[in-house]
């Protein structure tokens, strides 16, 4: 199990990408950022793709990219909206351990200063609130997670060490 993949899921701002790099270093694993993979493949920012294809179109782009991931001994940081793609989540679950980086809504709001350019998918339109997005997604993350780690108030390194110790225990 320790040589397997770790798939990080959670809300935007939970630290999947930033923390994922540190976690990979701690555990001696490779690192893959799904958001960067999508941007490179499509030659556009996440927000640009959302603007061009809409929320559902972006979810399909993300689903396709994640379904194709073949990795070993890798920490994979997913985008927050990956949770909407059952095929992608099933595939990722088949190749690794899902770790949900759980933050309170208050912590997410502190971490997300300006999300207009961040590429956050609001399935119910841009007028939907972060509160509604949080309420919609958290149960989905919890359902998919093999391990849940609370990361509120932790530095990147402390959170990565906490995740590493939880992962090693399994």
Q: pLDDT tens for residues 116-160?
A: 555 566 655 554 678 888 999 999 999 999 999 999 999 999 999
Selection from 165, 129, 134, 131 nearest residue 147 by Cα: 165
Distance of CA 2 to the CA centre of its chain: 20
Assessment of whether the complete model's pTM goes beyond 0.85: yes
CA distances from 66 to 6, 89, 93 (A): 14, 8, 11
CA dist 104 and 119 (Å) reads: 20
What does the block give as tokens for 170? 């399994």
DSSP state of 79: P
- For residue 135, the domain's CATH number is 3.40.50.300
Q: What is the pLDDT of residue 1?
A: 44
**Helix locations, the chain, DSSP H:** 16-27, 34-42, 46-67, 86-95, 105-111, 130-144, 156-169
pLDDT at 114: 61
Number of domains in the chain: 1
Instruction: Convert the pLDDT of each residue in 34-80 to its tens digit.
Output: 999 999 999 999 889 988 998 899 999 999 999 999 999 999 999 88
Q: Which domain holds residue 117?
A: 5-169
Q: What is the pLDDT of residues 70-94, one digit of tens each?
A: 999 999 999 889 999 999 999 999 9
The phi and psi torsions of 124 (rounded to 5 degrees) equal: -105, 30
């Amino acid at each position: 199990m320790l040589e397997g993949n770790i798939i990080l899921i959670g809300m935007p701002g939970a630290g999947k990408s930033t923390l994922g790099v540190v976690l990979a270093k701690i555990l001696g694993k490779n690192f893959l950022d799904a958001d960067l993979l999508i941007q490179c493949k499509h030659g556009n920012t996440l927000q640009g793709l959302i603007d061009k294809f809409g929320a559902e179109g972006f979810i399909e782009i993300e689903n396709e990219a994640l379904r194709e991931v073949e990795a070993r001994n890798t920490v994979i940081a997913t985008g927050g909206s990956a949770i909407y793609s059952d095929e992608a989540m099933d595939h990722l679950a088949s190749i690794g351990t899902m770790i949900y980086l759980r933050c309170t809504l208050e912590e997410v709001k502190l971490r997300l200063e300006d999300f207009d350019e961040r590429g956050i998918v609001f399935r119910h339109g841009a007028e939907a609130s972060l509160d509604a997005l949080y309420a919609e997604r958290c149960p989905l993350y919890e359902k998919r997670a093999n391990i849940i780690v609370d990361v509120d108030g932790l530095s990147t390194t402390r959170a990565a060490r906490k995740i590493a110790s939880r992962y090693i225990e399994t």
